[in-house]
Amino acid sequence: MKKIILAILCFWSWTIVVNAQKQLPDSVVQRLQKERVKKQHYTNPVVPGFFPDPSVVRVGTDYYLVNSTFQYFPSIIISHSKDLVHWQQIGHVFTQKSDLNLDAFFDGCGMWAPDISYYKDTFYVFYCLVQLTKDRKINVRGNFMVKSKSINGPWTKPVQLTFEGNDPSHFVDDDGTHYMSYAAGIPKGKGTKIVRLNDECTKVMEEPKWIEWGSEKGHPEGPHIFKRNGYYYNHIAAGGGLYPEHHQLIARSKNIYGPYEASPYNPFIAQLKLGQKPRPRTTQQGHASLVETQKGEWWALYLSMRRVDGYNNQLGRETGLDKVNWLPDGWPILNEGDGPSESDWAPDLTVKKYSKSEKEDFNTPKLNTNWGWVRTPDSSNFSMTEKKGYLRIYTTPFDLDTIAARNILLRREENLHYNATTKLTFKPLGNERAGLICYYDTKTFAGVSLTNNGGLQLIVEECRKGKRKTIATVDKIEPKDLYLKVEVNGYERTFYYSYDNTNWKVAGAVSDASFLSDWGTPQWGFMGTMVGVYALDKGSINRTPADFDFFNYKAED
């Protein structure tokens, strides 16, 4: 009921904003349409899967992107692009437990909304850590900063700048003064906060000031400031990132502290087709970051969601792209005022594509950057060198439905239709389990695992809103290498096993896995479904190695 009421309130405030939107003059529309003469085309999202809260910076002809990673480790994924359309994950800001320990963070908490910037040969990443329960009895927030001379690190030790707020971003004025703007972490309000920093960005130099404008907004967050032609532009997300009415607003001022004037064309970013049927393929756009290309074009990267049936989403909040047009009166609009696109003409940049490896062979001492552990792993419990060409994970205490479980390794689902396969060598002595998992959080998952229940046995199970249920079992599994596979077709997920990777048998199926989604979890629905492998002892106290030879992800969209 609380979700329904909040959704109604968000829709009401969004409707007021949309109805007040100023229309573009015909002459401006005609000029913008002439700008569409381009050759390359792209389709949103440009970064598919669980990549929310984007922040982008240009350095020369290179573009760097960071996204929220919440309780996953390594933390703060970094991506690189030459054309804003094709992206390659190149690393993480945090790779050592000594710099960031996510052990105790709840589902959907941890690392929120990082911001990347570049000034005088230095990369800056501002970020927040949040520990929050839905009843807000636990509500701990703080904003931090790290920096590096290289995008590849090493990064400095974290410096905590505030003990309140979230979603920080960095702005450097023309005179070299540094500022940090951030959200106050409130359910509703007229704006966000800003503080002035010292030159090293290691200390707050003044009391926080409010930047407020317009009417009261639901969940004002993700603030950014940039400067153009003497104006300071402040744009923020509103409406709540979990709701279809999520959108972006923008205002400007001649003084960084205000007063700010709201754009007459607000909302700056919003899916204006919400009232249409069928519902658009992508929705919930907002939490944007703007960048100017070396050729003078402006573009916005923002979070977006693809829905299976117009309502539900399993992939999480993804990163979309659209052009920003500047009007003669100095206001920006998105995509000629048409709102977020499903596909459009690409930026006027040289196209640079990157190859994607669908198969992980575990042949190197380090995991590829597209993998992440659920919370900070214990390095003594896994190895990529003990058995050459294999990822070895030792079964350890705790289970999938607790935050204490560490041995869960995942990669993002990027498609609504795909299959994933792994080869497992595992000799459980008792109740230990190892297998393949489709995972949203501790209360929301489905998978197939091998165990010993008086003999080797496969178990297909789901956890729906925290309630675990065995879907199927397969007895008399032969004591040999085992191939496991999941086929995903929208909501339907079918799990298979094989002894030769050719002849497959159905182990069990989840006919409606819509619960693997932002609305399906009873926890914070900020992430996206991921797929991977795990090994846990489930109370057997046995430390048994589970060896994974490869993991193959094949898109079928």
Segment 458-505, tens digit of pLDDT? 999 999 999 999 999 999 999 999 999 999 999 999 999 999 999 999
Q: Which helix (H) or strand (E) holds 15?
A: helix 2-19
Asked whether 249 and 23 are in contact (CB, 8 A), the reply is: no
| Model confidence band, residue 34 (pLDDT cutoffs 50, 70, 90) | low
Q: Write the DSSP symbol of residue 335.
A: G
Range in 20-24, 311-315, 360-364 with the lowest mean pLDDT: 20-24
How much is the average pLDDT of 297-304?
97
Please indicate whether the domains covering 2-20+49-270 and 359-555 agree at the CATH topology level.
no
Q: How far apart are CA 311 and CA 278, in angstroms?
A: 10
| Model confidence band, residue 245 (pLDDT cutoffs 50, 70, 90) | confident
**Three state DSSP letters for 124-189:** EEEEEEEEECCCCCCEEEEEEEEEECCCCCCCCCCEEEECCCEEEEEEECCCCCEEEEEECCCCEE
Q: List pLDDT tens digits, range 397-424.
A: 889 999 999 899 999 999 999 999 999 9
Range in 159-163, 219-223, 336-340, 426-430 with the lowest mean pLDDT: 336-340
Q: How far apart are CA 459 and CA 432, in angstroms?
A: 12
pLDDT, residue 11, reads 46
Residue 120: both structure tokens together: 């005088």
pLDDT tops 90 at residue 210: yes
pLDDT, residue 239, reads 84
Phi/psi at 422 (5° precision): -140, 160
- Strands 467-474 and 456-464, sheet pairing: antiparallel
pLDDT, residue 89, reads 97
pLDDT, residue 538, reads 84
pLDDT above 90 as % of the chain = 81
> How many residues in total does the chain contain?
557
CA atoms within 13 A on the CB side of 296: 1
pLDDT, residue 241, reads 64
pLDDT above 70 as % of the chain = 90
The dihedral through the CA atoms of 190, 523, 319, 491 has a sign that is negative
| Model confidence band, residue 8 (pLDDT cutoffs 50, 70, 90) | very low
| Model confidence band, residue 157 (pLDDT cutoffs 50, 70, 90) | very high
Residue with tokens 């997300």: 237
> 160 CB contacts (<8 Å, ≥6 apart)?
142, 143, 144
Q: Which helix (H) or strand (E) holds 93?
A: strand 88-94
Q: How far apart are CA 100 and CA 160, in angstroms?
A: 12
Computed over every residue of the chain, the mean pLDDT equals 91
Class of domain 359-555: mainly beta
Domain ranges of the chain: 2-20+49-270, 359-555
- For residue 455, the tally of other CB atoms under 10 A from its CB is 10
* Chain centre distance of CA 295: 29
- For residue 338, the tally of other CB atoms under 10 A from its CB is 13
**Higher pLDDT pick, 91 / 285:** 91
pLDDT tops 60 at residue 2: no
Q: Which helix (H) or strand (E) holds 225?
A: strand 221-228
> 14 CB contacts (<8 Å, ≥6 apart)?
239, 245, 247, 267, 270
CATH of 2-20+49-270, picked from 3.40.50.300, 1.20.1260.10, 2.30.29.30, 2.115.10.20, is 2.115.10.20
| Backbone torsion region of residue 541, taken as left when φ is above 0, otherwise alpha when ψ lies between -120 and 50, otherwise beta | left
How much is the average pLDDT of 251-275?
88
* Chain centre distance of CA 98: 23
Residue 305: both structure tokens together: 């969601």
In the chain, the amino acid numbered 367 is: L
| Model confidence band, residue 7 (pLDDT cutoffs 50, 70, 90) | very low
Residue 193: both structure tokens together: 């906060």
* Chain centre distance of CA 110: 12
Residues 269, 225, 92: CA angle, nearest 5 degrees: 85
Q: Which helix (H) or strand (E) holds 30?
A: helix 26-34
- E strands of 416-465, at which residues? 417-426, 433-441, 444-452, 456-464
pLDDT, residue 25, reads 64
pLDDT tops 80 at residue 321: yes
